[in-house]
Structure 1
Amino acid sequence: MDEKFDAGLMWFVGRFSVYDREETLGIELEVYDPDNKIDRTGLIKKYALDLGCLSYRHKFVLVESLADKLHDRNYDFQSLFEIDEGEASSWPREEWYKLESPRGFFQHVYTLALEVWEDDLLKASLEDRATW
């Protein structure tokens, strides 16, 4: 519990890895196109933001980290979707390996996180972070 929280953006996309779950999660996710805004909305709300294991403070720090990266024009969002051959990870569809706009995907995550996690983010913002 005393370890520093890693607010890496893989928290948002790691849930889409279907490695060793191709017959279950893979089948469920393959009907979605991550480049289609309507499909992406459903994917993000159902999977990327369903992080029940995280507290409201963790969510706040994740959104803050995402906002920082979105403000960095040089941040390589595509690198988050690249999987080395030796990694135990895979995406549900070929489109995931080369999204039309990886930055747009994460902008969409940010917008929906502000909406879905509104109460948690407000609660965390009202606290003194020095006490965390």
Structure 2
Amino acid sequence: MLKNPFLNKSFDPNLKWFIGVFNVYDREQKLGTELEKYNPNKKADREELIKNYALDLSYLSYRHKYALIKSLECSLNDKNYNFQSLFEISDDETASWPRAEWYELENPRAFLHEIYLLAQFFWKDDLQKASLEDQSTW
């Protein structure tokens, strides 16, 4: 069983692993200031955000990355998947986004699709390595 890198339980390849890095709650001064210059609705800004933050998951193994990409792929293939729900923050959560645009992205599916495409490039070696293994043994 693939374990969560921080907890002694199984790994849940939830798509929030990709966007949780943009949560600036209690980090407004540093991370919030860095991220507020980017508009996630602009393609060039979105690409920078994904390359520099969403895919910078060095604390995850190649197996975790593979599991995340497979989960993302499955979600992208589901025409009814509500990608906007990933960006919704309830009143009882200790979370916040760096800019107002994050709360209602113009196209949250496109944002996650771009993560998928860029991960195929930047994580190519990790994904290839994991694909050659028997995932049932993890």
TM-score class, shorter-chain normalisation, is: over 0.9
Give the alignment of 1:16-95 within 5 angstroms: 16-95=22-101
CA RMSD of aligned residues (A): 0.9
- The CA distance in 2 between the partners of 1:124 and 1:20, in whole Å, is 35
What whole-Å deviation, never above 9, does each CA across 1:89-114 have from its counterpart, x for those lacking one?
00000000000000000000000010
Quick check: 1:99 aligned with 2:100? no
- The CA distance in 1 between the partners of 2:135 and 2:94, in whole Å, is 36
- Number of residues paired by the alignment? 132
Q: TM-score, normalised by structure 2?
A: 0.93
Q: TM-score, normalised by structure 1?
A: 0.97
Letter in 1 for 2:69: V
- The CA distance in 1 between the partners of 2:136 and 2:27, in whole Å, is 41
Letter in 1 for 2:130: A
Deviation at 1:85, TM superposition (A): 1.4
- The CA distance in 2 between the partners of 1:65 and 1:130, in whole Å, is 15
Q: Give structure 1 regions of 4+ aligned residues with deviation exceeding 2 angstroms.
A: none
Letter in 2 for 1:100: E
Letter in 2 for 1:33: N
Deviation at 1:128, TM superposition (A): 1.4
Q: Could you tell me which of 93, 112, 130 is aligned with 2:118?
A: 112
Identity among equivalent positions (%) equals: 59
- The CA distance in 2 between the partners of 1:73 and 1:42, in whole Å, is 27
Letter in 2 for 1:26: G
Deviation at 1:86, TM superposition (A): 1.6
- The CA distance in 1 between the partners of 2:135 and 2:69, in whole Å, is 15
